[in-house]
Amino acid sequence: MEHSSLAGRIFRGVALTLILIFFMFPIVWIFLMSFQTNEQILRIPPRILFEPTLANYEALISGQLRTAAGNLQISFMRNLFNSVVLSSAAVVLALLLGVPAAYAFARFKFRLGESIAFTLLSFRFAPPLLVLLPLSLYYQELGLNDTYFGIVWVYQLIALPLILWIVRGYFEDISPDIEHAYRLAGHSWREAFTRIAVPLAGPGIAAAGLLSFIFCWNNFVFALILASADKQPVTVGALAFVTASGIQYGQIAAAIVLSVTPTLLLALYAQRYLVEGLSLGAVKG
Amino acid sequence: MARLEINAVSKAFGAARPADGLSLAVEPGEIVAVFGPSGSGKTVLLRMIAGMFEPDDGDITIGGRSVVGAPPERRGIGMAFQNFALFPHMTARDNIASGLRAGGNEVAGRVAAISKLLKIEHVLGHAPRELSNGQKQRTALARALIGNPDVLLLDDPLRNVDAKLRYEMRLELPNLLRRGTAAVLYVTQDYREAMAIADRIAVLIDGRLAQVATPADIYAQPASVAIARLFGDPTINLAEVSPVAEHGMLSADVAGARMRLEAADGAAPAGPCWLGVRPEDIAISSASADDAIPARILAITPMHEKAVLLLRLADGTEWLAALPPDAPHGAADDNVFVRFVPDAAMLFDRASGLRIGASHRLKAA
């Protein structure tokens, strides 16, 4: 690195800037859009400088959408709340079920073990729409339609395989000797699991949890079919902005900013744990 | 105070039989080295005692009570692993203290005492990744020792430390291990380590114990050719001979020379034998004699503490000789004559590989 020439460093800087602009531009543009009215957004040519307005956020938070065709009730805040509840509950449930299962798959060879693990993964192969039709019939029968529990359950199709397969790899990377050493020191296997295996697989569990949270958060079709308005997350709620008098770009932008914020904060917070501890190096191979 | 007893233990993994009817007893306070080539089943034996595998057959008792089927945490065993197996998310202090169940002041005192003994007091606050390999290994040893276990299992603990530290630890370990009354099983692939540390050596070959004896006995009286070849550097020289008895003495033709072998108390063994002579028992001279093998020096490796000579005997067999560096030994391409003391020669049955005349040697010892 020290030997790189001035030209090389300038080139690297320019390249990094271009890549950064390429990836960040949509996010920045949406952020700017969220402070503009529909007229400001749609004028040609677009302008960087504008009179910022908080009208979009006010409309979202108050639930009153004013369009040319009149006032519309929207429940964006309710949707946002639903998203947080549904995604968090789904990830917590998937972690409770998936982490012990991943440990079992990593440590023990048992009959049909690989088949079970693969079946769980295969849930991700099927197009969700294919699953949804029979599922919605079952849900109606069971009374699970339009319940938080029903949606959290169906979200396991997204979260559980992801957590199982990512965390399993992390458990397999931990030398079994470390757990044997802890057991020989007089601890039960339960203690070895909770105090050795789970902390050491921590970064993997965090990564898998974060990833499945994002997948659940972004899911659209499950909640569209299986839930009614008051249980629907933001992804489905965003449909409300396509109104009779046109698409409300300003509100959509504001809604995106609000709905991306929790995931973004979570990712920034978890990033620390994702990197930390990946090179603990207590075992010499 | 508990005796470790392994009774006819067998274990198979598919076609492989890493333990095939093993029986071994280790007294409290005794150090037994389990020595054998890699893949001979040393680690499997240790892991069966520790409770990571259960034997298919046979019994393992500690202090007279069978531990087969008992979970590892109830066996009263301390273990140090070849790869250290420290807990990466705990400090060295917590690693060592994890071996103790009791809480309070006692823990701090015992951690302090054991870390002083192992000279790692200054790194107790460090995480494993901040320790050198030597310190990691001492931490792992401290963790195994702190609970005063009845049985201490050491799985090649010096494998991953550098040569200087390995020498230091070879001197230090026997004293350290004898402080307690634990029955110690020490697995190693290095015969020098086994000889330096152990009271007795159990030689494990292909899942069977080939010989269990003191280091001196194993070196002087190996039970078979295979064992003789495992101990010694350079390895033992072999020649195929058919000994004959004359006047109560055994002798054999080696590359055209009639060599006297050890005094036999019986008749000459029937059939062909392996003659084994350790490189350090060989003497070189430039003077011809009836009882000296003509040979040619092919190469000389000076190793400062000794010189190793590669010799070609008159019949083409290649032997090694290890001589004191100042002993006259000639130069490469010299023609020389090789002799050895009759007592130093060992005879092994050609077919079974077992040593012949062991009874005689045992009487002399």
Q: Give residue-wise pLDDT tens across range B39-71.
A: 888 889 999 999 988 999 999 999 889 999 899
Q: Which residue has the tokens 């007279």?
A: B64
Q: Which residue of A has its CA nearest to B101?
A: A186
The answer to whether residues A255 and A234 belong to one domain is yes
Does A138 lie in the same domain as A40? Answer: no
Inter-chain touch B128–A281, beta carbons under 8 Å: yes
Q: Give yes or no: residues A10 and A136 share one domain.
A: no
Q: How confident is the model at residue B364 (pLDDT cuts 50, 70, 90)?
A: very low
Domain count, chain A: 2
Q: Which domain holds residue A202?
A: 77-275
What's the gap in Å between the CA of A179 and the closest CA on chain B? 8
A195 and A258 together in one domain: yes
CB B179 within 8 A of CB B142: no
Name which of B72, B75, B126 is nearest B96 in CA terms.
B126
Domain segments of chain B as ranges: 4-224, 237-364
Cβ count near B260 (within 10 Å): 18
CA distance A210 to A216: 10
Helices (H) and strands (E) in chain A, counts: 14, 4
Instruction: Check CB contact of B143 with chain A, cutoff 8 Å.
Output: yes
Start-to-end CA distance of chain A, whole Å, equals 30
| A281 within a domain of the structure (yes/no) | no
Give a yes or no: residue A280 inside a domain: no
Give B321 or B99, the one with higher predicted confidence: B321
Provide the pLDDT for residue A109: 82
CATH fold of the domain at B237-364:
OB fold (Dihydrolipoamide Acetyltransferase, E2P) (2.40.50)
Give the pLDDT score at A146: 86
> How far apart, in Å, do the first and last CA atoms of chain B sit?
32
Determine contact, residues A113/A168, Cβ cutoff 8 Å. Answer: no
Cis before residue A233, ω within 30 degrees of 0?
A: no
Query: Which residues in chain A have Cβ-Cβ distances shorter than 8 Å to B77?
Result: 184
What was the pLDDT predicted at A94? 95
What residues are paired with B200 via a beta bridge? B32
Q: Does one domain contain both A65 and A166?
A: no
Select from B47, B73, B135, B151 the residue whose CB has the most chain A CBs within 10 Å, as the one to mutate to test that interface.
B73
pLDDT tens profile B300-309: 887 778 888 9
Structural domain includes residue A1: no
Among B123, B146, B147, B134, CA closest to B84: B134
On whether both A106 and A239 belong to a single domain, the answer is yes
Whether A69 and A81 share a structural domain:
no
Q: Stretch A132-139: mean pLDDT, rounded?
A: 89
Domain boundary (A19, A51, A73) is at A73
CB contact under 8 A, A186 and B71: no
Query: Domain ends where: A35, A50, A73?
Result: A73
pLDDT digits (tens, 9 = 90+) for A26-43: 988 899 888 988 888 888
Domain B4-224 has CATH 3.40.50.300: yes
Instruction: Please indicate, yes or no, whether residues A66 and A117 belong to a single structural domain of this protein.
Output: no
Domain containing A205 — which CATH number?
1.10.3720.10
One DSSP character per residue, B96-125 reads HHTT----THHHHHHHHHHHHHTT-GGGTT
**C-alpha torsion sign, points B231, B234, B235, B240:** negative
Averaged pLDDT of chain B: 86
Q: Which residues contact A114 (CB under 8 A, 6 or more apart)?
A: none
Residues of B in contact with A177 (CB under 8 A): 81, 83, 85
Alpha helices in chain B (DSSP H): 42-50, 92-97, 105-117, 133-145, 163-178, 191-197, 215-220, 225-230, 358-364
A26 and A137 in a single domain? The answer is no
Compute the average pLDDT of residues A147-157.
91
In angstroms, the CA B361 to CA B356 distance is 10
Say if the ipTM goes beyond 0.90.
Answer: no
pLDDT value of residue A284: 37
If asked whether residues A59 and A103 sit together in one domain, one would say no
Question: Do A157 and A125 touch, CB atoms closer than 8 A?
Answer: no
What is the spatial order of strands in the sheet that B237-241 belongs to?
B237-241, B273-277, B346-349, B355-356
A211 and A247 belong to one structural domain: yes
Q: How far is A191 from chain B (nearest CA, A)?
A: 11
Tell me, yes or no, whether A46 and A110 share the same domain: no
Alpha helices in B19-85 (DSSP H): 42-50
| Cβ-contact B133, B60 below 8 angstroms | no
Query: What is the C-alpha to C-alpha distance for residues A76 and A9, in angstroms, rounded to an integer?
Result: 47
Can you tell me the distance from the alpha carbon of A120 to that of B263, in angstroms, rounded to the nearest whole number? Answer: 75
Q: How many CB pairs under 8 A join A and B?
A: 88
Domain termination site, one of A73, A89, A116: A73
Burial bucket for residue A9 (CB in 10 Å: 0-12, 13-18, 19+): exposed
